[in-house]
Amino acid sequence: MASRTKLSGIQRQALALYRGFLRTARLKSPEERRRIESVVSAEFRENAKSVDRRNFVYIEYLMRRGKRQLDQLKNPDITGLSTLEINKVYIILKKA
């Protein structure tokens, strides 16, 4: 039996947020679902690589921003996500 490393509270919150986005993506059309999954995966991977794990203030900011975006995405009037590339990927919600 493999032993799992114990996750910190903020790691569990980030995982729950990621799963929340994936669950919400299932409620959208198939093409938007794939797009949402792709954008969310890229955003989480990029932040995992670029954000210092000890920068708790910035991590908490990203978590709050992600929760707001997830709440907006859960709205049935929102059809999917778009991205805007300036220097970084930003999630923009599309409304029907």
The answer to whether position 5 is within a domain reads no
The answer to whether position 46 is within a domain reads yes
pLDDT confidence band for 84 (50 / 70 / 90): low
Q: What is the pLDDT of residue 81?
A: 78
Our count of domains for the chain comes to 1
Q: Which domain holds residue 28?
A: 10-95
The answer to whether position 2 is within a domain reads no
Listing DSSP states for 5-72 in one string gives PPPPHHHHHHHHHHHHHHHHHTTS-HHHHHHHHHHHHHHHHHHHHHS-TT-HHHHHHHHHHHHHHHHH
pLDDT tens track for 19-33: 999 999 999 999 999
Q: What is the pLDDT of residue 70?
A: 95
* Residues 74-94, mean pLDDT to the nearest whole number: 72
pLDDT tens track for 32-60: 999 999 999 999 999 999 999 999 999 99
Q: Indicate the pTM of the whole model.
A: 0.79
